[in-house]
């Protein structure tokens, strides 16, 4: 039994249906990445897996139970979420933000403990923000701020981490730094599920890939099987060549030259 899965999911916002008939199983111990063009339902699927969006139809199951049957604090003890464009309270320091990751473990008769302090320090060390503990979050650079949020999620000490476009707004060096951290966490046994826009980053770091188009899942599996020239053209409307990444041997998407893309029609908005 896998810890996290969704069956026959129909996902909608009010009357607008975003995705239908989604069946997804997150392999335990995987670094699963969801890819696809804009507005295809990637983040919506992640929100459903995170219990932030109730499916119109179907169910999400976490550790053998429908996720909606858990209290929110219990979900947070099992699964951490780095939301897209998270906003910190005005004036909060990095140390206080990371400490909020321990909230799911607090109880009426068990407040802040030595274990909490230990987990916060370990999370800040893992993300390289220990020296920033006293700095206000709103004074940090984009990369520093994203690492602080990542530290907060790590402080939850959950086996599953969900990341919604964690590299958005980061420059290339910070993108690689954050994805390297994710890969390290996966090597340590954590299950990660991330939405990424960059197909080559997804191919390099993912152990399991989910490709979406227009609210449906069109392919799932290891990147070497999912990322093909045919799939990229079908999903993104992009003629390309897929070669081996010279650094890692994973698939590398090389867009066709301009003369080959003259009839290009975007696959998503």
pLDDT tens-place string over residues 171-196: 898 899 899 999 999 999 999 999 99
In a domain, 191, yes or no: yes
How many CB atoms lie under 10 A from the CB of residue 242?
17
Does residue 269 fall inside a structural domain? no
Residue 178: which CATH number?
3.40.50.300
**Residue 64 contacts residue 28 (beta carbons within 8 Å):** no
pLDDT reported for residue 174: 86
Position 268 in a domain: no
Spatial separation of the C-alpha atoms in residues 161 and 179, rounded to whole Å = 13
The tens digit of pLDDT for each residue in 105-132 reads 877 666 778 889 999 999 999 898 999 9
Q: What is the pLDDT of residues 15-63, one digit of tens each?
A: 899 999 999 999 999 999 999 999 999 999 999 999 999 999 999 999 9
Write out the H or E segment, with its range, that includes residue 154: helix 142-155
Mean pLDDT of the chain: 92
β pairing state of 16-26 and 4-13: antiparallel
Question: How many separate domains does the chain show?
Answer: 1
- Domain containing 98 equals 4-260
Token representation of residue 99: 């400490």
Report residue 173 as tokens. 């060096």
Helices (H) and strands (E) in the chain, counts: 9, 12
Average pLDDT over residues 72-78: 93
Is residue 243 domain-resident?
A: yes
Residue 137 in domain: yes
């Amino acid at each position: 039994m896998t810890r996290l899965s969704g069956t026959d999911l129909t996902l909608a916002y009010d009357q607008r249906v975003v995705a239908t008939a989604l069946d997804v199983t997150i392999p335990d111990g995987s670094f699963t990445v969801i890819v696809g063009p804009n507005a295809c339902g990637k983040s919506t699927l992640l929100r459903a897996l995170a219990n932030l969006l109730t499916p119109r139809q179907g169910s999400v199951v976490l550790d053998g139970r429908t996720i909606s049957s858990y209290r929110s604090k219990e979900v947070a003890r099992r699964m951490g979420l780095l939301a897209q464009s998270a906003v910190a309270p005005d004036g909060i320091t990095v140390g206080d933000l990371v400490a909020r990751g321990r909230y799911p473990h607090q109880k009426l008769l068990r407040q802040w403990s030595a274990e909490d302090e230990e987990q916060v320090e370990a999370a800040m060390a893992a993300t390289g923000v220990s020296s920033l503990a006293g700095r206000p979050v709103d004074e940090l650079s984009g990369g520093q701020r994203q690492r602080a949020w990542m530290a907060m999620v790590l402080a939850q000490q959950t086996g599953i981490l969900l990341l919604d476009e964690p590299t958005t707004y980061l420059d290339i060096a910070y993108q690689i730094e954050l994805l390297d951290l994710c890969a390290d966490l996966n090597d340590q046994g954590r299950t990660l599920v991330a939405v990424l826009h960059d197909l080559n980053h997804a191919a390099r770091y993912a152990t399991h890939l989910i490709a979406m188009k227009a609210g449906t899942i069109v392919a799932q599996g290891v990147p070497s099987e999912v990322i093909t020239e045919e799939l990229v053209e079908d999903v993104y409307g992009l003629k390309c060549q897929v070669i081996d990444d010279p650094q890692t041997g994973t698939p590398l998407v090389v867009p066709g030259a301009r003369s080959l893309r003259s009839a290009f029609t975007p696959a998503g908005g």
